Amino acid sequence: MLGDISLFLLATLASTLAGVFVMGGGMLMVLVLPWFVPAIAVVPVHAVTQLASNSSRLVFALEHIYWPAIGPYLLGSVVGTSLFAALLLSLPLELIPPFIAIYLLLSLWCAPFAQVLRRLESFFLAGFLQTGLGLVVGAPGPIALTMLSRRLENRENIVATASLMMLCGNLFKIGTFLWLGFHFADYWWPLVLTVVGACLGSLLGSLLRRRIAPQAFMLQLKWLLTLMALTTLLKSLLWE
């Protein structure tokens, strides 16, 4: 019972963070899901959870979508899904949680690694890497969001467009795992908890976004993600 409540609250918190900051929610969820579901289910459950989070957040900002970025991003997502799906077939499942933790630690603290991500100036490449890497690590970091923040000045445009991009990526991931034979129904209860929490978080995030200055929370968010990444990595090492 306590585990169910914790999962619901974490899903709500993650979606609220995404609603306010346009980032952090997916990374938070992919770090905590290994505490609640087996390694084989982490990325598929994360995809459904983020689909609920992004689609419910998009409901509040449909009119602000920047459509010229969507086509190239979708094309890149198709190519990335096709290529990275092959990697999933050969990747040992027990490596997924520590791989996620290491990737996110590099994204947060390794400047050269982060600079490579920030220098992607093509929405096609952003879709390729964001969706392709997402099949393996769940939340590959704010690749598309970084580009949008450079090209768009209105925050609502950034929120809406990034939400639609991530929603498309979630659909590609879910389709890929269905093709690979993953049984989502086996995890129906965790999915119910995370989906309801994600929708509630989107509502809270949309209400808070105009009232909270994101800059005041970014340092705390970075340390929170770091702590959770280290916890996930430590648990994986101890389990082995």
The tens digit of pLDDT for each residue in 116-158 reads: 766 756 889 889 888 887 887 776 666 777 678 777 877 788 8
Q: What does the pLDDT read at residue 240?
A: 54
CA-based nearest residue to 81, from 160, 164, 159, 180: 180
Eight-state DSSP code of residue 213: -
Average predicted confidence (pLDDT) for the chain: 83
Q: What does the pLDDT read at residue 232?
A: 74
CA distance 3 to 220: 24
**Residues 165, 130 contacting (CB under 8 angstroms):** yes
Q: What does the pLDDT read at residue 217?
A: 56
Residue 154 sits at φ, ψ, to 5 deg, of: -80, 125
pLDDT above 80 (res 239): no
Residue 110 CB-half CA count within 13 A = 10
In the chain, where are the structural domains located? 2-32+42-239
CA distance 240 to 237: 5
pLDDT above 80 (res 179): yes
The structure's pTM equals 0.76
Indicate the pLDDT class of residue 107, thresholds 50, 70 and 90: confident
Q: 216 or 78: whose pLDDT is higher?
A: 78
**Residues 18, 52 contacting (CB under 8 angstroms):** no
CA distance 104 to 137: 9
Indicate the pLDDT class of residue 9, thresholds 50, 70 and 90: very high
In one-letter notation, the amino acid at residue 17 is L
